A and B are shown apart, each in its own frame.
Chain A
Amino acid sequence: MENNNGLKIRRWVQIGSAAVGNGYLKGFKTSSIYQGPLKNGCVPFLNCYSCPGALFSCPIGAMQATISEAGGKFDLNAIPLLVIGFLSLVGSLVGRAVCGWACPFGFIQDLLNKIPSKKFAGWKWLKYLKYTILIIFVFLLPAFMVDEFDMGAPSFCKFICPAGTLEGGIPLTLMKPDLRNQLGVLFSWKMSFLVAILALAVFFKRPFCRWFCPLGAFYGPFNKISLKQIGIDKDACVKCGKCSKVCPMSLNVPEEINSCDCIRCFDCKAECPTKAIK
């Protein structure tokens, strides 16, 4: 019962945050994007600001936009203090809970994993890929790979982000023929990556969050120091394995309870028969 209630609350929060983050319905009707003052602020999760419904900016997009001002050289003024501060504040309070409770793309992967099929744990070493993506595609390439006007590009958005393809690319190209006419190799690559992630999500729990997401990589280390901690009473634990079985990040919960990959969903806590997880 508690498990069901906990899960239901999380599902409703996920639906609510997706609706609030993408609540500009007029954008879908008029094939445009919101241009009002709310976009001065970021949501704490991955949410493409080119989605017709997006009311706020995406923190990863905002970081790259600031860093790309560096113009190919090291420039202190291009360090995105505001967004780094905002994400650090969220991380210091609740660790990676945003991934578990608020991210629409995480929610989609959760739903896809409900499709009955054989499930796989995946490869542990792949989790380090997301840190590489954060450093190379979010920090380094936008700063140092510049065009003829000395402007960097949002390399993560451009080459990888499947949330951008899903929330921005697909609706906008469906609604705007002038954009559709410009589609090429890059869009094909991004669509292939999106389809691959969505297909993988049926068989692996949250493949994008575990292996590719730079925002998860940013939040992850805050799990170690966040105000909201999760712990396990090793004496009360009967090693039944139920917690690990329900973990949406495929963690071995008793051993990895405060690891950088825990998304603080508390599904394990609700499932624990001896209430060992606190």
Chain B
Amino acid sequence: MSRRNALWFWIFVGPFALGLALFTYVPLLWSVALSFFDAHNTVTPTHFVGLDNYTAMLKDDAFVDSLKTFLVFTAFIVPATYVFSLSLALMVNRLGRARAFFRSVFFLPAACSYVVAALVWKMSLFNGVRFGLANTVLGWFGGDPVAWLSTTDPPWYWLVIVTVRLWLQTGFYMILFLAGLQRIDPVLYEAAAVDGARPGWTVLRHITLPQLRATSVAVVLLLVINAFQAFDEFYNLLSDARGYPPYARPPLVYLYYTALGQGQNLGLGSAGAVILALVIAVVTVGQARWLRLGRTDADG
């Protein structure tokens, strides 16, 4: 019987485990190995260089800058998405009628691809000429056209980058919050009302938010990890045939140019990837500890 079970276990899990090993673990270990070699234009290098790639990467201003870019981006996008999606969820949750309609409408952008959205933002909403949507609106108020993605002072490109991601992901997190909200026992609100808590901020602060703890922790964790993986919208908004500007360049974009562009310095790129993976691991574990991941809502 147990042999039969083992057989079924491997039939169901085997293909997945094989794929995981082949397409995730092998490349991952290979990349770690590459990071200790001088691997220009080859994945089977022979020239061992020890930690040289790591010291070169950590001394590289552009890589350190890219980590700072990531921090700035996270500082914008995580609180902004949190506030927007929670507000949307609270509003949609209060709706008596047409709730399903608004839920779908707000969720719809999540189905759009990052690449497509980035191109729409770049070419029609925020292009730099006078007939772009943003510049047309500015024009009504007598403003001069702004080259949104090319202006570094003030850094308008952040407006474009942050809004495209907000539009894309707010709806998804709204759904998570809605699910959380619907699990809150209405008795709590009734009790609060009896005790004289005024609806609005007091109830939100003392009942809704504590009850949403587990959801909030999951949302923040997902948001931070997603921010770390930022590539698509940055690349499609800011890159051109000749490369990428030296600002708003997150780590993955920088490593892409180092390792996979014509640079083909796979050793250096791998070292950067390992450093990045370590940073993500440390941040995620630290965050999980700090936010006490795994506690239930009831634990508060």
Q: Do A and B bind each other?
A: no
